[in-house]
Structure 1
Amino acid sequence: MSAPSSLCLLRTSAIGDVTHVVPLVRTLQAAWPQTRLTWIVGKLERRLVGELPGVDFVTFDKAAGWAGMREVRAALRGQRFDALLQMQVALRSNLLSLGIKADRRIGYDAARAKDLHGLVVNERIPARSGKHVLDAIGSFCEPLGLKQTTVRWDLPIPDEAHAWASEQLPGDMPTLLVSPSSSHALRNWRPERYAAVMEHATARGWRVALVGGPSASERAMADAVLAACTHAPLDLTGKDTLKKLLALLSRAQLLLTPDSGPMHMANAVGTKVLGLHAASNPNRSGPYSDRRWCVDKYDQAARKYLGKPASELAWGTKIEHSGVMDLIEVDDAIERFDAASTHLGIG
């Protein structure tokens, strides 16, 4: 088909999922460099992706409620797109999409649609189960006649962010970053278990740094981890921005984290990830490029909490039960750390 003159992408949140949209943007730009791309994105998430070249961004402030939706409509007044890629199925996003004028409205297949999603789209992506979230998002170009065959991020990182990261992590000492908090509290590991892995890394000659956002819950988690440490790591909790975190990740060799936004940010800059998975399936939502260093207890969690193997669960089922992350033992994470160290030629 001929190149569309304009496309609107709607994916407002969360950090990890917004990261997964970037390769789709790159695919569209490579095929149709003259096509005007407009991306409706969340206020926080724009701080991560808002400097992507060749994209017009419209910020949606979900905290503003209906006023935030009206602001988006005002920003798009007078515009009509050849197609809307409606990549978020939450009710709020479906309502937001009603203010976007587009001839084609491409959404998820019926199995992945919810919250009235089917009423706001008139085309659907191919119905495929068993795919990573990034591949599902990438398939939004298929109704347009494209195929995402390469995955490229190249997220812009300002020079000042790199300079700041270099000050925090000078030299070339092997570095383990630890981002202990997920936005889903039931995905978090115990502080003392993080601390045990961090002590092991320190004993192996690694530099260890703790990272996280400025929220009270992340500060509390960081304090609990620090209290359990014998050797105090560098504490950067609440000191970075999303761009500075990208820069920190680009200087580190490994990130220890539960299923979270920083997991996907690390993957996007090529940093290995020691992901902790029990509540979620790493094959669906783990680090896209390399999941070899993840601890995977998802099947064990399925059997314990849902009474069936993971292979019998609906794709995307979350097992966010109290205590589910306790299935991951310290030795599980240390074994993956040592394997990653050997692979990287460290220690």
Structure 2
Amino acid sequence: MARFLHKLLDRYLERYLRAHPQQLQPIERLERPPARLLVISSTALGDTLLSTPAIKSLRKSFPEARITFLVHRNVAPLFAGFPYVDETVLYHGGYRRFFSTVAELRRQQPEAALIFHGNGPQDIALAVLSGARFILKHPTASPQRIYLSHQFMPKRQHTIEDRLDLVRLLGGTVIDPTMEIPPLRDGNRDAAVLAGLGGAGKIVGFQVGASHPYNMWPIDNFGRLAEKILAADPEVTIVVTGVDRERPLGEKLVHACGNRVLNCCGRYGIADLPYLIRRFSLLVTGDTGPMHLAIALGVPTLSLFSAANHLGTGPYQDPTLHRVIQKDGSFVHRLPKKQRDDSAMRLISVEEVFAAYEACLHH
């Protein structure tokens, strides 16, 4: 079905551009900074957070521009009141409400669209159908790259820099590479999170799940790490974070370690999550959205990388706060995505994670 819908979209775009032959322009024809900008970062939590430096840099470089932010509806509550955008439009995923989303974007009349992260082929199509004359996206193999105003060459650099390159090409000169979320000012949310923690003082967070199995450290390893941490420090409480489907993983840790482990998987919505994570002394995590959220909040992290490379998606700010364990698990990418398991993450031992944990405490 998806392939059929993609073909329909291709045909629709072809007809649309035949009717609007002068719309799309190469970036060389940009004569002045655009007054109205569309920024697209319409996927999951982590990638949206990785887009915030570019969005901040757009606002700081072009303070008079009107910026519209296309963000996934599941992530949008975290960005309520985000001070760097003027308007937020919700993306509902795939082709859900596709044409109503197009209508909302067209009402914003963007001159330029910057795709920081989006699922194809919908992302470039939405940018085209928004009416934007200039469309930028970091290096992509998408067949729809023919609609882009510039073809970026791949670079060996952090994802944040890939997105900042779009801002630079547009003429942006005030570059801020730090991630940020709106200020945490909801006292009711904060009080609810504190109540849920039951008076726990020194908290170590465990993010046990990930968007893909090949980025997940085995739950048995988390259990053995928990035992070591709890034995070493009687004041520590471990709080397990994750979505509702990961609750059984948290229950395994509770069963193994007792009431000094709190299973918070699925307990808090995305708007509550920063109020929880900012209470952590440290977050132990794979390459996940909560890792990026902790970094944005200035919470120390111990992050585990193997299938992914931390030089591309790992901590990029406040280097003294964050410790990374990196193994070469790139072999998993030779398999089809659905066949990739946690074998790359199994290269990371419990002993080396615990040693890194102790080093974090004494830093």
Q: TM-score range by the shorter chain?
A: 0.7 to 0.9
* Residue pair 1:178, 1:255 contacting (<8 A) in 2 also: yes
Q: CA deviation at 1:70?
A: 0.9
Q: Tell me which residue corresponds to 2:290.
A: 262
Backbone CA RMSD of aligned residues: 2.5
Cα distance in 1, alignment partners of residues 132 and 75 from structure 2: 24
Task: Please state if 1:333 is matched with 2:344.
Answer: no
Q: Deviations along 1:284-331, whole A, 9 cap, x unmatched?
A: 11122238522111x2x24x6689xxxxxxxxx9x9445221111100
Task: Please state if 1:207 is matched with 2:240.
Answer: no
Matches within 5 A, 1:109-128: 112-125=139-152, 127-128=153-154
* Residue pair 1:279, 1:320 contacting (<8 A) in 2 also: no
Greater CA deviation, 183-192 or 225-234?
Answer: 225-234
Cα distance in 2, alignment partners of residues 186 and 29 from structure 1: 36
Q: Secondary structure at the match of 1:84?
A: strand
Cα distance in 2, alignment partners of residues 279 and 334 from structure 1: 20
Q: TM-score, normalised by structure 2?
A: 0.81
Q: Which amino acid aligns with 1:92?
A: Q
Q: Deviations along 1:165-191, whole A, 9 cap, x unmatched?
A: 332347783210111000102221221
Which one of 162, 166, 170 corresponds to residue 136 of structure 1? 162
* Residue pair 1:192, 1:228 contacting (<8 A) in 2 also: no
Cα distance in 1, alignment partners of residues 292 and 353 from structure 2: 19
Q: Tell me which residue corresponds to 2:110.
A: 81
Cα distance in 1, alignment partners of residues 116 and 198 from structure 2: 40
Cα distance in 2, alignment partners of residues 93 and 306 from structure 1: 24
Q: CA deviation at 1:340?
A: 0.5
Greater CA deviation, 268-277 or 200-209?
Answer: 200-209
Cα distance in 2, alignment partners of residues 94 and 219 from structure 1: 36
Q: Tell me which residue corresponds to 1:311.
A: none
* Residue pair 2:46, 2:293 contacting (<8 A) in 1 also: yes
Q: Deviations along 1:16-67, whole A, 9 cap, x unmatched?
A: 11001112222222232221000111111212223312431110101xx434
Unaligned runs of 5+ in 2: 1-30
Q: Deviations along 1:186-211, whole A, 9 cap, x unmatched?
A: 22122121122222222323221111
Q: Which amino acid aligns with 1:34?
A: E
* Residue pair 1:107, 1:117 contacting (<8 A) in 2 also: no
Which one of 77, 81, 94 corresponds to residue 47 of structure 1? 77
Rg (Cα) greater in structure: 2
* Residue pair 2:135, 2:148 contacting (<8 A) in 1 also: yes
* Residue pair 2:213, 2:342 contacting (<8 A) in 1 also: no
Q: Tell me the matched-pair count.
A: 322
Matches within 5 A, 1:314-333: 320-333=340-353
Q: CA deviation at 1:6?
A: 0.8
Q: Tell me which residue corresponds to 1:284.
A: 312
Matches within 5 A, 1:4-83: 4-53=34-83, 54-62=85-93, 65-83=94-112
Q: Tell me which residue corresponds to 2:264.
A: 236
Going from structure 1 to structure 2, the CA distance change for 1:237 and 1:80 (only over 3 Å counts) comes to same
Q: CA deviation at 1:80?
A: 2.3
Q: CA deviation at 1:231?
A: 5.3
Q: Which amino acid aligns with 2:141?
A: K
* Residue pair 1:46, 1:59 contacting (<8 A) in 2 also: yes
Q: CA deviation at 1:107?
A: 1.8
* Residue pair 1:187, 1:320 contacting (<8 A) in 2 also: no
Q: Which amino acid aligns with 1:72?
A: T
Going from structure 1 to structure 2, the CA distance change for 1:96 and 1:103 (only over 3 Å counts) comes to closer
Cα distance in 2, alignment partners of residues 29 and 166 from structure 1: 34
Q: Tell me which residue corresponds to 2:9.
A: none
Q: Secondary structure at the match of 1:294?
A: strand
Q: Secondary structure at the match of 2:285?
A: strand
Q: TM-score, normalised by structure 1?
A: 0.84
* Residue pair 1:85, 1:105 contacting (<8 A) in 2 also: yes
Unaligned runs of 5+ in 1: 308-316
Q: Tell me which residue corresponds to 1:314.
A: none
Cα distance in 1, alignment partners of residues 261 and 57 from structure 2: 40
Q: Tell me which residue corresponds to 2:279.
A: 251
Which one of 192, 205, 211 corresponds to residue 164 of structure 1? 192
Cα distance in 2, alignment partners of residues 219 and 149 from structure 1: 37
Cα distance in 2, alignment partners of residues 236 and 67 from structure 1: 30
Cα distance in 2, alignment partners of residues 287 and 103 from structure 1: 34
Cα distance in 2, alignment partners of residues 168 and 134 from structure 1: 34
Which one of 160, 178, 197 corresponds to residue 151 of structure 1? 178
Q: CA deviation at 1:98?
A: 2.8
